Amino acid sequence: MTQDELFKVLVAHCKEYGFIFPSSEIYDGLAAVYDYGQMGVELKNNIKQYWWNAMTRLNENIVGIDSCIFMHPRIWEASGHVSAFNDPLIDNKDSKKRYRADVLIEDYLGKIEEKIAKEVAKGRKRFGDSFDEAQFRATNPNVLREQAKYDEVHNRYVKAEQASDFAEYRQIIIDCGIVCPISGTCNWTDVRQFNLMFSTSIGSTSEGANTIYLRPETAQGIFVNYLNVQKTGRMKIPFGIAQIGKAFRNEIVARQFIFRMREFEQMEMQFFIKPGTELEWFKNWKEKRMAWHVNLGMGAENYRFHDHEKLAHYANAATDIEFQFPFGFKELEGIHSRTDFDLGNHQKFSGKKIQYFDPETGESFVPYVIETSIGVDRTVLAVLSHAYKEEKLENGETRVVLSIPPALAPVKAAVLPLVKKDGLPEVAQQIMDDLKYDFNCQYDEKDSIGKRYRRQDAIGTPYCITVDHDTLEDHCVTVRDRDTMTQERIPIAELRSLIDKKVNLNNLLRNL
Ligand code: GAP
């Protein structure tokens, strides 16, 4: 199965098993908006808990808040979003479809990278253990040709990006022969800037303005509460404020499922520090955040840093943590050194003094900020796309299994009476009643045991517990492991500690 096919199958699987539904589906859906179903919301909540606890419990100097989506419109002027939160858009004159010019170029570069990766994989297969990747890349004519093409386009793109030269974006698209996927033509308009914020109206504000914006990031809710938290929490620099919440962007390129949505959720943390220490803290948070990801056990090789060549209007250093999605390495989290841009501007625009008094030096200053910002939905997609597997079994059948990290799995254990009679359902219900306070469990008595195992594999349940006739005598149950499919007979009294060892989020947190 190609990665493209795999992705389509995954999207269908997410719907079939209650993870993610297209929004407003009975009205034919709403582009780039998705709802989470009964399984999806559990997975999402577990991810949020892993992040929240890693931030606020493992760091004594980080606290959380929950600020509102609606904020005073001047906030978005101060933050630069009104003037600078734009995407470069280009239209195809034949299909009348609109695209992000930067995404068209990045996808083109991504395809060249894929071609190179395929050549390298072929080489590895051909030469086996003696394969020297660096030498292969330096000498193979196909790789050299593709790499030269990549470097040429990439250099032009970076220069155009740094100079905000949108005419050059268009020229790159034309020179590379990038066509509209719908019309197949290269008949492009000029590139224009398009603001991503959604606006709506409100009764009134202190300045009489009634246009307000749905927040495009949660970060500003943290900045405007900096003084409140610092004072009421008696926080001493360095300290952080964390927040999880919805953000809204009028994304034009509505593709790749929940990767790019118009309504999505962010987990952001702003870390307030002394000016001059930002590059040290930036490095520190890069390492900490990468460790958080790798700790999930989805393979360190599936993550990489992508340091920004063009910095956002607020940053003096920035990197992305990228994950290998089925459509290539793409941004999962952004880490930015935001200087004093936000607090400084809020001080200017609000007229309120936003400073930190350092009791040790007697100085007052506007703190600098390191931000870590990760998308909840992109993490859900990373977990699901890595977890989805179709396996051939020894008996010739195939099974679909989601090997979700156990601590994140929506359902931790399924309790299955072998038959619907002879007192087995009653024992199974007792086990459910006992376990339900500690774990999200499912009771299932329908269909053959094999079918029930398949249903649980498909939603990623780490353990299936089967109650059979022997259970009535020996008070033991058969526990089947999702990944190895091995079965073990254990006393009912030991169930809780067995499950807990594998699924307890604290065990993940302890490894950080
Ligand atoms: N406060 C900084 C900020 O918002 P960003 O790189 O624009 O930075 C941070 O966004 C993260 O939010 C991204 O790494 C991504 O995971 C997530 N994100 C951004 N736009 C998104 C969208 N349209 N749909 C889903 N997730 C998105």
C-alpha closest to that of 356 among 372, 345, 339, 343: 343
Quote the pLDDT of residue 205: 67
Mutate to test the pocket of ligand 1, among 373, 374, 377 (most ligand atoms within 8 A of CB): 373
Q: How far is the CA of 399 from the centre of ligand 1 (A)?
A: 34
Indicate the DSSP class of residue 357: E
Q: How far is the CA of 249 from the centre of ligand 1 (A)?
A: 9
Is residue 297 within 8 Å of residue 404, measured between CB atoms?
no
Residue 313 clears pLDDT 80, i.e. is over it: no
Quote the pLDDT of residue 203: 80
Q: How far is the CA of 378 from the centre of ligand 1 (A)?
A: 9
Give the predicted TM-score (pTM) of the model: 0.89
Q: Which of 128-142, 252-266, 365-379 has the lowest mean pLDDT?
A: 252-266
User: Does the beta carbon of 266 sit less than 6 angstroms from any atom of ligand 1?
Assistant: yes
User: Does the beta carbon of 376 sit less than 6 angstroms from any atom of ligand 1?
Assistant: no
pLDDT tens digits, one per residue of 140-151: 999 999 999 999
**Ordered domains of the chain (ranges, CATH):** 36-76+211-384 (3.30.930.10), 86-195 (3.30.40.230), 400-510 (3.40.50.800)
| DSSP β-bridge partners for residue 108 | none
Question: At 172, is the secondary structure helix, strand, or coil?
Answer: helix
Mutate to test the pocket of ligand 1, among 264, 319, 336 (most ligand atoms within 8 A of CB): 264
The residue among 206 and 326 whose pLDDT is bigger is 326
pLDDT tens digits, one per residue of 389-405: 999 998 888 999 999 99
Structure tokens that stand for 255 in this block: 């593709």
What angle, 0 to 180 degrees and rounded to 10, lies between the N-to-C axes of helices 424-435 and 495-503? 50
Indicate the DSSP class of residue 302: G
Residue 254 pLDDT class (50, 70, 90 cuts): low
User: Does the beta carbon of 332 sit less than 6 angstroms from any atom of ligand 1?
Assistant: yes
User: Does the beta carbon of 334 sit less than 6 angstroms from any atom of ligand 1?
Assistant: yes
**Lookup result for tokens 């994989």:** 121
Mutate to test the pocket of ligand 1, among 33, 195, 224, 266 (most ligand atoms within 8 A of CB): 266
Proportion of the chain above pLDDT 70, given as a percent: 98
* Environment class of 129 (CB within 10 Å of its CB; exposed 0-12, middle 13-18, buried 19+): exposed
Q: How far is the CA of 457 from the centre of ligand 1 (A)?
A: 31
Indicate the DSSP class of residue 92: B
C-alpha closest to that of 220 among 357, 292, 314, 290: 314
The minimum-distance atom of ligand 1 relative to the CA of 268 is: 1
Q: Which of 86-95, 213-222, 250-259 has the lowest mean pLDDT?
A: 250-259
Residue ID of nearest Cα to ligand 1 atom 6: 334
**Lookup result for tokens 């309120």:** 352
Residue 178 clears pLDDT 90, i.e. is over it: yes
Residue 79 clears pLDDT 90, i.e. is over it: yes
The minimum-distance atom of ligand 1 relative to the CA of 261 is: 24
pLDDT tens digits, one per residue of 414-453: 999 999 999 999 999 999 999 999 999 999 999 999 999 9
The minimum-distance atom of ligand 1 relative to the CA of 262 is: 23
Q: How far is the CA of 94 from the centre of ligand 1 (A)?
A: 31
User: Does the beta carbon of 217 sit less than 6 angstroms from any atom of ligand 1?
Assistant: yes
Q: How far is the CA of 501 from the centre of ligand 1 (A)?
A: 34
Mutate to test the pocket of ligand 1, among 333, 378, 381 (most ligand atoms within 8 A of CB): 378
Quote the pLDDT of residue 45: 98
Residue 211 pLDDT class (50, 70, 90 cuts): confident
User: Does the beta carbon of 219 sit less than 6 angstroms from any atom of ligand 1?
Assistant: yes
User: Does the beta carbon of 375 sit less than 6 angstroms from any atom of ligand 1?
Assistant: yes
Residue 208 pLDDT class (50, 70, 90 cuts): low
Mutate to test the pocket of ligand 1, among 331, 337, 372 (most ligand atoms within 8 A of CB): 331
Proportion of the chain above pLDDT 90, given as a percent: 89
pLDDT tens digits, one per residue of 256-275: 899 999 999 999 999 999 99
42-59 per-residue burial string, b: 16 or more CB within 10 A, e: under 16: bbbebbeebbbebbbeee
pLDDT tens digits, one per residue of 285-307: 999 999 999 999 999 999 999 99
Residue 209 clears pLDDT 80, i.e. is over it: no
Quote the pLDDT of residue 210: 82
Quote the pLDDT of residue 307: 94
> Which residues of 280-367 form beta strands (DSSP E)?
303-307, 317-325, 328-339, 356-358, 363-365
Residue 387 pLDDT class (50, 70, 90 cuts): very high
Q: How far is the CA of 344 from the centre of ligand 1 (A)?
A: 23
Residue 408 pLDDT class (50, 70, 90 cuts): very high
Q: Which of 203-207, 217-221, 421-425, 484-488 has the lowest mean pLDDT?
A: 203-207
Is residue 107 within 8 Å of residue 150, measured between CB atoms?
no
